[in-house]
């Protein structure tokens, strides 16, 4: 899995057709057209009524990522999953990450922060797949390095606060085999090479490791891949929170599921998290540019410096003009970030109003964002420091989770 994403804008003169798949996201000049993506993929928008329904069913306020539209699309969330959940059916959560870098930024953590919320409100088991094999296949890294990164990333994931009584974290190099491998092979038999090319865009010069990989990411969608957790319950429903670029994997999985006698997984999908320099949703994150994102390893000074220097502002060029015209919130990155990370709805609305009408300056908004992110990062760093090797081993132990539905 690779929930974070660099979005490359098309060069001048190129067609503005957007490409979104697990390894490439390129947008037209106006940024990703999410409406078009939803139509193209065949998933559905999450509307206010669905957010309300989640709140009602879970008897908890919806996560700000949900109520503010970061998680914006779904498959079978209302029709199937919530209906069944209301009738008392159980479900489990599945998410993951391709461990290609050591230091994670906020974009990397978003699916995990949201998954923790889902685990808390639904009180259900969760499997987290670290696709170290995928990263080996796509990046120029050694097996050892991929395995090491997976373990380091697991510490950041655990630091998000998952309940060890309900969470199984695994790496592919560590866990593939047995029933999981049986499911991989069963899935692979249902997908032709032509079909895989249609879904993932492989080329004949791609190595066969790439072609072999989609069943590895599909397998955790089926509970029978985890006999130590779910025993013979091969009809348990699965809900997958992920970024929308992962949709192709699960379109394939949902297509295959009925042929194997399994349930289709449901999905809840996020937009891409914008880079600091982003203009609107035309996110341009660069893995080679540490200034394009706030990392969970950044110091308060680094956070302050990055936001003040690099966060794209929708404010006006001069104070006078700003007081007169106000800020353009649609392209303002600090507002976008506050939208994701400032919990207090009233304060957020107040800031947006003041800023839009020119009464608040960019520097003031940035100052608030620095405080919010510094607190989040500090909290994360404290939590991660508590994650020992033994705790990682405990989360990754192949074990039953006796009270995972309690």
Of 119 and 131, the one with the shorter C-beta distance to a second copy is 131
Q: Which stretch binds a second copy (CB under 8 A): 94-102, 202-210, 278-286, 329-337?
A: 202-210
Contact 395, 164 (CB under 8 A): yes
Inter-CA distances, 344 with 202, 252, 340, 349, 375, Å: 44, 39, 11, 9, 14
Rounded (5°) CA angle 101-383-272: 45
Interface with a second copy includes 398 (CB under 8 A)? no
Interface with a second copy includes 211 (CB under 8 A)? yes
Interface with a second copy includes 206 (CB under 8 A)? yes
Tokens of 51: 């957010």
Interface with a second copy includes 208 (CB under 8 A)? yes
Interface with a second copy includes 175 (CB under 8 A)? yes
Interface with a second copy includes 207 (CB under 8 A)? yes
Q: Is 166 exposed, middle or buried (0-12, 13-18, 19+ CB in 10 A)?
A: buried
CB of 198 vs a second copy, minimal distance in Å: 10
C-alpha 45/C-alpha 342 separation (Å) is: 23
Of 162 and 175, the one with the shorter C-beta distance to a second copy is 175
Interface with a second copy includes 212 (CB under 8 A)? yes
Q: What part of residues 214-233 is at the interface with a second copy (CB under 8 A)? A: 214-215
Q: Is 111 exposed, middle or buried (0-12, 13-18, 19+ CB in 10 A)?
A: buried
CB of 183 vs a second copy, minimal distance in Å: 9
C-alpha 311/C-alpha 183 separation (Å) is: 45
CB of 182 vs a second copy, minimal distance in Å: 5
Residue from 81, 118, 191, 370 touching a second copy (CB under 8 A): that is 191
Of 178 and 363, the one with the shorter C-beta distance to a second copy is 178
Question: Length of the chain, please?
Answer: 406
C-alpha 229/C-alpha 211 separation (Å) is: 29
Residue from 13, 88, 204, 402 touching a second copy (CB under 8 A): that is 204
Residues interacting with a second copy, by CB under 8 A? 133, 136-137, 143, 172-178, 181-182, 185-186, 188-194, 196-197, 202-209, 211-212, 214-215
């Amino acid at each position: 899995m690779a929930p974070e994403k660099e979005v490359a804008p098309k060069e001048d003169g190129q067609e503005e057709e957007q490409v979104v798949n697990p390894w490439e996201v390129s947008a037209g000049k106006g940024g990703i057209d999410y409406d078009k993506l939803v139509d193209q993929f065949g998933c559905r928008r999450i509307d206010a009524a669905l957010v309300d329904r989640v709140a009602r069913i879970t008897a908890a306020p919806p996560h700000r990522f949900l109520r503010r539209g970061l998680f914006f699309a779904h498959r079978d969330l209302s029709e199937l999953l919530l209906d069944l959940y209301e009738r008392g059916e159980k479900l489990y959560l599945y998410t993951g990450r391709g461990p290609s870098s050591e230091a994670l930024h906020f974009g990397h953590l978003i699916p995990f922060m949201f998954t923790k919320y889902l685990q808390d409100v639904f009180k259900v088991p969760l499997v987290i797949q670290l696709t170290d094999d995928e990263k080996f296949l796509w990046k120029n890294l050694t097996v050892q390095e991929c395995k090491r990164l997976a373990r380091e990333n697991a510490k950041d994931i655990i630091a998000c606060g998952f309940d060890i009584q309900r969470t199984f974290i695994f790496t592919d190099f560590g866990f593939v085999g047995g029933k999981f491998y049986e499911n991989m092979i069963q899935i692979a038999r249902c997908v032709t090479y032509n079909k895989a090319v249609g879904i993932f865009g492989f080329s004949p010069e791609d190595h066969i490791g790439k072609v072999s990989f989609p069943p590895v990411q599909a397998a955790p969608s089926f509970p029978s891949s985890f006999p130590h957790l779910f025993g013979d319950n091969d009809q348990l429903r699965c809900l997958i929170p992920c970024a929308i670029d992962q949709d192709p994997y699960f379109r394939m999985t949902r297509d295959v599921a009925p042929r194997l006698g399994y349930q289709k997984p449901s999905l809840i999908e996020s937009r891409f998290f914008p880079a600091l320099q982003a203009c609107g949703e035309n996110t341009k994150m660069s893995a080679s540019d540490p200034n394009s994102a706030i990392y969970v390893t950044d110091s308060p000074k680094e956070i302050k410096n990055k936001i003040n220097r690099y966060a794209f502002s929708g404010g006006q060029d001069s104070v006078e003009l700003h007081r007169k015209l106000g800020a353009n919130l649609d392209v303002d990155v600090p507002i976008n970030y506050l939208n994701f990370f400032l919990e207090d709805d009233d304060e957020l609305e107040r800031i947006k109003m003041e800023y839009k009408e020119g009464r608040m300056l960019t520097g003031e908004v940035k100052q608030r964002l620095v405080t919010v992110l510094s607190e989040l990062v500090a909290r994360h760093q404290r939590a991660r420091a508590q994650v020992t090797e033994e705790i990682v081993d405990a989360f990754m132990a192949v074990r039953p989770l006796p009270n995972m539905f309690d």
